[in-house]
Amino acid sequence: MATEPGRAGQRKGKVNLPFPLQGNEDVLVICRRHWMYLWPRTIFWTVLAILPVAVVAWLLFGVGDVGGQAAMIFWLVALVYVLAWAVRIFLNWYQYDNDLWVVTNQRVVDCIKPNPFGLKISTADLVNIQDMTVVRSGLLQTALNYGDIVCQTAADNRDFTLGGIPRPQDVQLLMDKERDRERLRGR
């Protein structure tokens, strides 16, 4: 599920987050990239993995008469080629599945995990977010309702972007409400 809303005031059950929640912190929504960031690339790379092997196999075995060691070498090279693409497709899926943005009642957390051996976690307190902008550009983003939320903070790294998420206006509205609630509570 691309966006998993939780109820305010409750911790989401069985959510495996790559960071600990602070005291009295509740997960409001978990955002993942829109499926357009996964499936078109996966389909394209699958075609790039299979089509050349199928064409060369058809040329070698359909037109010419190749057998014995030449056939074994071809299938070995084809297997290595397809496995290399399979690893690339797996890492694409892994990054898609493990890159997430978590909005809690206190902060926004950006978790980027491009592979099993890398992790980058950035956070911004909701009360420190000065401005939020929803950016949707182009026919696909408008038709499929996904885009970016750019949050500006007073920190050195001023922009905090939730990129390619479904229904960005809904997430922005939720963040606005929680930011206002946190600011009023802090007074």
Give mean pLDDT in consecutive 10-residue pieces for the chain, a chain of 187 residues.
39 68 90 94 96 91 77 93 97 93 92 91 89 93 94 78 93 92 78
**Euclidean distance between CA atoms 148 and 151, whole angstroms:** 10
The pLDDT of residue 75 is 92
The pLDDT of residue 12 is 44
Q: How far is CA 138 from CA 32, 146, 165, in A?
A: 20, 10, 15
The token pair that represents 163 in the structure block: 């990129």
- Asked if residues 74 and 56 have their Cβ atoms less than 8 Å apart, the reply is yes
